[in-house]
Each structure stands twice: as structure tokens, then as C-alpha cells.
């Protein structure tokens, strides 16, 4: 833990860590040492980690990357944090992210941008940019992230690490500052699939405090072990090649014109390697992929406008120093507390939910969402796993996509549909594109197939 703290400070210019509290970290480290000394074992016992600042952590500032929550100290731990604490992981600090997890580059943080350690003129991706950077820079072996429309997978891809968003409902959202509740999902970001699986073992589980938490039928041998399939042939137990019988679906819509050639090359190479491991590549279609952008950018802001109404300077959040009446207090507090991107989403969300527009936008988007989920089920008739890019390009330069918000939204094209369908998806580092910037392969599985995804990634890695 001391080494990780020193490393976090040495790399402070990357701006991944936005809050360090050595006293709290060392207290946790000493408790882990005592457990180790008492002979206790556990994959995460004493292992340094760090949490995206979307998770509230007891005694620590918890800001969601926003001025609105600067100075807010949580009285409790998010369920996911609590589970990792119990497993003995040691929190090194709170990690930078786009404000309220809205963004794809970590540039929308009130704490300033976070830099990609592979090339500090590049963005790390977002919104879990700080998490990806803390792992990619080697400060912590794993970090927590959240993914609403790609925020675990895309920064993992752009920073050359491994990250998985499990099936919606797998990890409790209790204590995760809400962005779009029907999409938000926590997950691990780490160096490889094995580490992700070990962390997921601790993170996943039913929680009565989250109304959308999924209660899985209890397995005879206890909670799910996401490493259970590791090192074994995935389909055919007698096969020499571990991926024999595994059908990997390649959606035509993920390999179209929008995909940069320098991203496509390492992806194609990785697909060849999967074939060499015995997988069968099959062409599939996810015909409504393009519609995932408008559907997501209606649904997510709609939910955000509702979730963020609690930050009014009264119940939660920054209160303006100057105001004349109640209305101006709300207005001034929210104008000062929220950044422009967050304000934009609140406006869009309030608009699509308003009387007269609800049917035309919100309801329509919900219907598209259902169709997208059905498209995935049709695709899974033809394949076991879907593979494609995570991001259409490698990491872009800081500032490059800031002029037009829609340009940044378009970069989410390959990750949004998975989120709308609630499916598990992961990013696996497969090589480098232009300017030696990392490229990730996305693997998407059917509901609760994260064990299979992780084992497949492990065979590849
Ligand atoms: N880039 C997407 C957005 O801005 C996804 C963010 C996320 O997954 N939290 O909404």
C-alpha cells in the first residue's frame, strides 16, 4: 500500500487520483496485514485498489468528478466497495472520472482531464478514465469502474488494459452515484482477464438495497467463481484446441466504414488467433447498431435529469452564496455546481420526458431499446460470443473532440447497444494502432456468461 501511495504521488501529473487519504489507506493496510498474519488467505487480501469517484466511500470525499459534490464526505460505503473491503483490498484513493460519468474522454471532470500513460497528449477514454490510468500506469493492479454506455470497456481499450461490465443487475448499484439507473453497472478494470475474474468474484452478489439487483439461483457450491472455466476447453472437453466448438460472431455493423484501419488491423489479428485456438468465426448482423446512439442519448439523459434533481443545494450539493429567492437559489446552485455537459444532459432529459414529447422521443427510444435487445438474442442463436472493436479509433488527442458534443457521442457506437440490452461486455487488449496507442477487442456474451467471456479472454491472453 505504501508503494502504491508513493507511486500515485509520483504519477500525480497523470491526474488519475483526485483524493488521497494516507491515514485511511494505511489503516486499511494494517488491518489487512493483521488478517494475513493471523493466517487468513484470499485473492484480494492486502491488494491495493482504487475506486472511481462515482462510488461513495466512508470518510472519503466522494465527488462524482463534480463541483456539485466537492467537499462531500460519505457516511457509508457503496456495496461494491464494502464487498471489496471485506475481501481485504486496500483503497489507495479516489479516481478521476467524467462528471457524473457523462463522457467518453475524462475531459468533462471538474478536476481536469486525466492523461493516457501511453501518450500523455492522448485522452485515456471515459468516463472511468482515472481507473484505466491507475491500472495502466501500474499504480494499482485493479480498480473499480462503472459502465453506463461503455465507460469501463472504452477506457480499458484506450489504455491497453482489461475491463468487464457484467450483466446488468450483477453488481449492486447501492452507493454508486446514479447516472442512468437502468444502465449503470459496476465492474473491475485490471491488467488481465484472470485478475478481473478474481475481483468480480468479490464484487458480484445479490443486494436487497438495490431494487434491480439480480438474485441468481444459489449454486450448490456457493457463490459463482468466475475463474471456474479458466484453462479448460470451453465447449468440447476432448478437443486439443481450447476454443473448439466456440462460435464467435462478427457483426457486420461493427466492421463497417466507421472503423479506423489502424484499429481493424490488430482486431483482425486477434480474431485469427482465436481461430488458431479453435474458434469458428461466423458473420452475424446487429441491424439496429446505428440506432443505439439516438436511443441511448435519449434514455440516459432522461434518467439523468431525474436522478440529478436531488442536487439542488438543499438536499444535496453545492449551494450558491448569492440568491434572492428559492428559484434563484436553485438556479444559481445548479448553474455553478454542474458542468456544461451535465447541464446539457439534464436539459435534453427534461425535454424528452416533457408532455408532448414523451411519446415521440422517450417512448420511441424505449421501443428501439427492446428491439436492440431482441437483435442480440437472434444473434446468439448463431454464435456463442460476439466480437468486435470497442472504439472506432485509438485514443484521440486531448481537446480534439471537444468542439461538438455529438462527435464524442458517435465514438460510443460499439459499446452502447450492449448496455441498452443489459448484456455483459469486456475489452481485451490486442495490440496497438496509430501513434502506438492501444487497441482493445470487445467480447460480448449472453446474460450471465461473463465466466465464459473471461475464460475465452484468458485463453487468448
Ligand atoms: N460516453 C457515454 C456517455 O457519455 C457512456 C458513459 C458511461 O458509460 N458512463 O454517456
- At 193-225, the pLDDT tens digits run 999 999 999 999 999 999 999 998 877 677 899
Residue pLDDT, tens place only, 377-413: 999 999 999 999 999 999 999 999 999 999 999 999 9
Instruction: State the DSSP string of 288-326.
Output: TGGGHHHHHHHHHHHHHHHHGGGBSSSSBS---S--SSH
Q: Write b or e for each residue in 172-209: b if 16 or more Cβ atoms lie within 10 A of its Cβ, otherwise e.
A: bbbbbbbbbbbbbbbbbbbbbbbbbbbbbbbbbbebee
Whole-number Å distance, alpha carbon 359 to ligand 1 midpoint, is 24
Residue pLDDT, tens place only, 127-178: 999 999 999 999 999 999 999 999 999 999 999 999 999 999 999 999 999 9
Select from 95, 127, 181, 349 the residue to mutate for testing ligand 1; criterion: most ligand atoms less than 8 Å from CB: 127
Whole-number Å distance, alpha carbon 300 to ligand 1 midpoint, is 9
Whether the CB-CB separation of 135 and 124 falls below 8 Å is answered with no
Q: Judge whether 127 counts as a catalytic residue.
A: yes
Q: Judge whether 309 counts as a catalytic residue.
A: no
What is the predicted pLDDT for the residue at 223?
85
Whole-number Å distance, alpha carbon 425 to ligand 1 midpoint, is 14
Which residue of the set 131, 151, 170, 333 is catalytic? 151
What is the predicted pLDDT for the residue at 50?
98
Distance CA 42, CA 35 (A): 10
Which residue of the set 62, 66, 127, 157 is catalytic? 127
Whether the CB-CB separation of 277 and 241 falls below 8 Å is answered with yes
Select from 292, 300, 301, 307 the residue to mutate for testing ligand 1; criterion: most ligand atoms less than 8 Å from CB: 300
What is the predicted pLDDT for the residue at 383?
98
Indicate the DSSP class of residue 145: E
Whole-number Å distance, alpha carbon 187 to ligand 1 midpoint, is 14
* Ligand 1 nearest-atom number relative to CA 419: 8
What is the predicted pLDDT for the residue at 217?
81
Q: Judge whether 306 counts as a catalytic residue.
A: no
Give how far Cα 93 sits from Cα of 57, 99, 138, 151, 189, Å: 10, 17, 14, 19, 15
Helix (H) or strand (E) holding 276: helix 261-276
What is the predicted pLDDT for the residue at 238?
86
3-state secondary structure of 397: strand
CATH of 2-203, one of 3.40.50.2300, 3.90.1300.10, 3.40.1160.10, 3.90.1150.10: 3.90.1300.10
Query: What parts of the chain have a pLDDT lower than 70?
Result: 220
Indicate the DSSP class of residue 73: B
Whole-number Å distance, alpha carbon 165 to ligand 1 midpoint, is 13
Distance CA 412, CA 410 (A): 5
Pocket lining for ligand 1, CB < 6 angstroms? 101-104, 127, 147-151, 179, 300, 412
Residue of the nearest CA to atom 4 in ligand 1? 103
What is the predicted pLDDT for the residue at 222?
77
Residue 196 φ then ψ, to 5°? -60, -40
Q: Are strands 185-190 and 247-251 parallel, antiparallel or unpaired?
A: unpaired
Burial class of residue 12 (count of CB atoms within 10 Å of its CB; 0-12, 13-18, 19+): exposed
For CA atoms 202, 203, 204, 205, the dihedral sign is positive
ipTM of the predicted assembly exceeds 0.90:
yes
Amino acid at each position: 500500500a505504501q508503494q502504491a501511495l508513493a507511486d500515485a504521488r509520483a504519477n500525480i501529473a497523470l491526474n488519475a487520483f483526485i483524493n488521497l487519504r494516507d491515514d485511511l489507506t494505511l489503516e486499511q493496510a494494517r488491518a489487512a496485514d493483521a488478517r494475513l498474519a493471523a493466517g487468513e488467505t484470499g485473492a484480494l487480501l492486502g491488494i491495493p485498489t482504487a475506486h472511481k469517484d462515482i462510488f461513495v466511500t466512508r470518510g472519503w470525499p466522494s465527488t462524482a468528478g463534480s463541483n456539485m459534490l466537492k467537499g462531500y464526505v460519505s457516511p457509508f460505503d457503496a456495496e461494491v466497495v464494502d464487498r471489496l473491503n471485506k475481501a481485504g483490498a486496500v483503497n489507495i484513493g479516489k479516481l478521476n472520472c467524467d462528471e457524473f460519468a457523462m463522457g467518453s474522454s475524462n475531459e468533462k471532470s471538474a478536476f481536469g482531464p486525466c492523461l493516457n500513460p501511453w501518450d500523455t497528449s492522448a485522452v485515456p477514454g471515459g468516463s472511468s478514465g482515472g481507473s484505466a490510468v491507475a491500472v495502466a500506469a501500474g499504480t494499482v493492479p485493479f480498480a473499480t469502474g462503472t459502465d453506463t454506455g461503455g465507460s469501463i470497456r472504452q477506457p480499458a481499450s484506450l489504455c491497453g488494459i482489461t475491463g468487464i461490465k457484467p450483466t446488468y443487475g450483477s453488481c449492486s448499484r447501492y452507493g454508486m452515484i446514479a447516472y442512468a439507473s437502468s444502465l449503470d453497472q459496476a465492474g473491475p478494470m485490471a491488467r488481465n482477464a484472470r485478475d478481473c475474474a478474481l475481483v468480480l468474484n468479490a464484487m458480484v452478489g445479490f443486494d436487497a438495497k438495490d431494487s434491480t439487483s439480480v438474485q441468481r439461483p444459489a449454486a450448490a457450491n456457493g457463490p459463482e467463481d468466475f475463474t471456474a472455466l479458466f484453462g479448460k476447453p470451453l465447449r468440447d472437453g476432448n478437443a486439443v484446441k481450447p476454443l473448439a466448438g466456440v462460435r464467435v460472431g462478427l457483426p457486420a455493423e461493427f466492421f463497417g466504414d466507421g472503423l479506423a484501419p489502424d484499429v481493424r488491423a490488430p482486431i483482425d489479428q486477434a480474431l485469427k488467433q482465436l481461430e488458431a485456438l479453435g474458434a469458428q468465426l461466423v458473420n452475424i448482423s446487429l441491424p439496429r447498431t446505428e440506432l443505439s446512439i439516438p436511443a441511448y442519448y435519449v434514455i440516459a439523459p432522461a434518467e439523468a435529469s431525474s436522478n440529478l434533481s436531488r442536487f439542488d443545494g438543499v438536499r444535496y450539493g453545492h449551494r450558491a452564496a448569492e440568491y434572492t429567492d428559492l428559484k434563484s437559489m436553485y438556479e444559481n446552485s445548479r448553474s455553478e455546481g454542474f458542468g456544461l455537459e451535465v447541464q446539457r444532459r439534464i436539459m435534453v432529459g427534461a425535454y424528452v420526458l416533457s408532455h408532448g414529447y414523451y411519446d415521440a422521443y422517450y417512448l420511441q427510444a424505449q421501443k428501439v431499446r427492446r428491439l436492440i435487445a431482441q437483435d442480440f438474442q437472434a444473434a446468439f442463436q448463431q454464435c456463442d460470443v460476439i466480437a468486435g472493436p470497442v472504439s472506432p479509433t485509438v485514443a484521440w488527442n486531448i481537446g480534439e473532440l471537444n468542439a461538438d458534443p455529438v462527435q464524442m457521442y458517435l465514438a460510443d457506437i460499439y459499446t452502447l447497444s450492449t448496455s441498452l440490452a443489459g448484456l455483459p461486455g469486456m475489452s481485451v487488449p490486442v495490440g496497438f494502432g496509430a501513434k502506438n496507442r492501444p487497441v482493445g477487442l470487445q467480447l460480448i456474451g449472453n446474460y450471465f456468461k461473463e465466466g465464459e467471456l473471461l475464460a475465452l479472454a484468458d485463453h487468448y491472453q
